[in-house]
């Protein structure tokens, strides 16, 4: 008998829009997030032994693509948005079931009086508020295949040189500066967008970071705090 998936938690991250989220988990190692569980799943016994693992698998829902339906082929931004690939050969959200998979590093288990056990993780690639369906331990000797072929998703192809003037870095809290720089280095633009005259805006941690890109160099042009966010 089919059983509807239960949302067991939601993620709290500094990503408030899809633009700027890393293409894969782990690409920006310092991107920190909190996994806050629903009340019925806050029994501390359910977390016994979890701190013995360094990494976790998260199964989550593409909350902003619901209702857009299944598509047999998609145009991955990594391929410039021009070439179609089978949906099962991609990690695109337009799937029969809107389920995503991420590997994150467990930083620590936080015991909150109001929220119960909270998992603080790093390397997350999830939008703030994303529903979590399950958490499983990452087991290196079975889950890691470092020599496996990666198809068209080859590492390092879109990394940019980042010119981030010191006076603009000072507008960010110190604990966000290296993470924002790494997010920019990964090139947050879709693969098909190479307009050298366009100014882009990336929101992270309550700040609006504006930048332009020419060839392989990204230049930050302004940083400002978003009103109503701290």
Domain residue spans in the chain? 9-63+98-143, 161-225
Cβ contact 34:12 at 8 Å:
yes
Helices (H) and strands (E) in the chain, counts: 3, 12
| pLDDT at residue 191, rounded to an integer | 67
List the one residue out of 76, 60, 71 whose CA is nearest residue 151: 76
Token pair belonging to 42: 């806050």
| pLDDT at residue 15, rounded to an integer | 94
CATH class for the domain made up of 161-225: alpha beta
| pLDDT at residue 5, rounded to an integer | 87
List the one residue out of 224, 202, 220, 203 whose CA is nearest residue 211: 220
45 vs 36, 57, 108, CA distance in Å?
A: 16, 19, 16
Give the whole-angstrom CA distance, residue 80 versus residue 109: 40
| pLDDT at residue 158, rounded to an integer | 67
Cβ contact 102:60 at 8 Å:
yes
Block mean pLDDT (10 aa), the chain, length 230: 84 93 89 97 97 97 72 78 84 86 97 96 95 96 87 70 97 95 90 75 95 94 83
| pLDDT at residue 1, rounded to an integer | 54
How many Cβ atoms sit within 10 Å of the Cβ of residue 119?
24
| pLDDT at residue 98, rounded to an integer | 87
9-63+98-143 domain in CATH 2.40.30.70?
Answer: yes
Helix extents (H) in the chain: 140-143, 166-169, 174-185
Q: Name the percent of the chain in helix, strand, coil, to the closest 5.
A: 15, 35, 50
List the one residue out of 6, 8, 18, 132 whose CA is nearest residue 64: 18
Strands 217-225 and 131-137: unpaired
How many Cβ atoms sit within 10 Å of the Cβ of residue 22?
20
| pLDDT at residue 3, rounded to an integer | 73
């Amino acid at each position: 008998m089919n059983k509807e998936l239960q949302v067991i938690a939601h993620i709290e991250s500094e990503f408030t829009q899809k633009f700027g989220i890393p293409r894969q988990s782990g690409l920006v190692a310092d991107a920190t997030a909190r996994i806050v569980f629903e009340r019925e799943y806050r029994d501390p016994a359910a977390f016994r032994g979890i701190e013995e693992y360094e990494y976790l698998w998260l199964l989550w829902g593409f909350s902003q693509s619901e209702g857009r339906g299944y598509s047999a082929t998609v145009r991955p931004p990594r391929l410039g948005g021009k070439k179609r690939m089978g949906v099962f050969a991609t990690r695109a959200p337009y799937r029969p079931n809107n389920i995503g998979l991420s590997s994150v590093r467990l930083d620590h288990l936080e015991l909150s009086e109001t929220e119960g056990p909270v998992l603080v993780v790093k390397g997350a690639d999830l939008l703030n508020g994303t529903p979590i369906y399950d958490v499983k331990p990452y087991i290196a000797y079975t889950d890691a295949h470092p020599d496996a072929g990666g198809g068209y998703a080859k590492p390092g192809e879109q990394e940019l040189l980042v010119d981030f003037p010191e006076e603009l870095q000072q507008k960010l809290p110190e604990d966000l500066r290296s993470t924002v720089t790494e997010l920019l280095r990964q090139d947050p633009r879709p693969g098909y967008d190479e307009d050298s005259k366009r100014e882009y805006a990336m929101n992270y941690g309550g700040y609006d970071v504006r930048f332009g890109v020419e060839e392989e160099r990204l230049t930050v042009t302004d940083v400002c705090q978003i009103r109503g966010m701290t």
